[in-house]
Structure 1
């Protein structure tokens, strides 16, 4: 007698279907449709976590074309950041004349095609260390003695470097770090923590160009290029014209190096990308300020109406 409480499987054995990608999908062409100096569109909004002192959400757009693959590599970056503090240190802690900053980056389990674990990986530790070093260069730490602030960045969706998506290194890692710096700076500004300037980050790269010449580009995406000669990410303070964080990878042969594709040109490309991100930061913070002023005005108007009704 069959069990009616569950769905019974077939009596015999079955073979699961196997989906094999076509030859075109196995090696899809990679082509950048954007101009070399064109940045991807960025969405940035602050004030999304009410329980935090400051919070922000950042998202980068997907390239405007779909790659013909069974499991396409993602190039969208989605990050959320929350800032807790400044808060007093424990009584047992020794006196510190400066603000104690702690920054961490954590991948959500569903952030990549390969499921992430809960134990911090070396990639997360490296990203957190570079993020902390970049933010220390912009904070006015001497204004909060014996205080601490915690910055937590959560990667909701990461950019894969390769088709398998089983590791983060090189270009995908740099794009994540730049996005983490930008979203953390927006969250710090939302928390109203004094800083020297708005810290913005950008990525520049040198890729093979036409006629076997190297080409310098801004804001590269891993799915748009088959080969990356070198890449660089910088944290840049625009008003002070200072670089507080730099991380580079790759090399260029001596015969292919030019003033525009050498190390100086690579850093200039990353700085130009950071200036573009600074524009988005300015607009997002101005929009947040406008929303706060409107909310305050509505609150005051409501209080006045309540007083008039009571009298």
Structure 2
């Protein structure tokens, strides 16, 4: 194999505007605007790369100049792009966000090309390049909620996914309910924040530990729940719930923090860390990310 993990989902251009000034409806403030490869699958792959793990991307990218540039950038960052589906007649997806000193102010995600591609992005797991229904892929797959709910439901019953170690994250709180079908997949671990856990269970939780307990009670096999600067929790249907605090840092960015937590946790477990150690490693990695240490 030329990769350690598969990352399935959104790979797009992130356009992020950041300002140190407080924002409100109609604000027009000075700041910095950056463009870099993003999307849940890409953010996870980039973080895994920092931990020495090589990711193969399964996604849809337009046959346009932005798509060519995006894939060249992904390759330069160490990702395997051989299996990427190039969509004809559709533009490369984009995400645009505004962040102020208190975090995310507003964002718009344009993942229409990924959604339109549907199960075409999964072809390598069916046609023998990475696996098939008769010889299922047996390693770690990071899967994001930018896929349609129908496709996520389909993945739950596909023989080609039956033996995979699925690590699943929503693309945003508004898409968290898409993950409901995967809660009962025996190989799935869900990564959500406290708000997203509430959407999945129609319940308001006060802590990540409560949210983890609620998700397990609702039928999930394993969940990781974050809660901003408060403690995160790891819930398992047999082991129960463990927690780890978040280090105190000055927040300089928000977008991508959840993806960083997820990637750091996956890398720690692949390395062989025990659940408590892996949870603490993920919390520390996410804290370093939001503090902007690598900016």
Q: TM-score, normalised by structure 1?
A: 0.28
Q: TM-score, normalised by structure 2?
A: 0.29
> Which protein is bigger by CA-based radius of gyration?
1
More relative contact order in 1 or in 2 (CA 8 Å, sep 6+)? Answer: 1
Name the one with the larger helix percent: 2
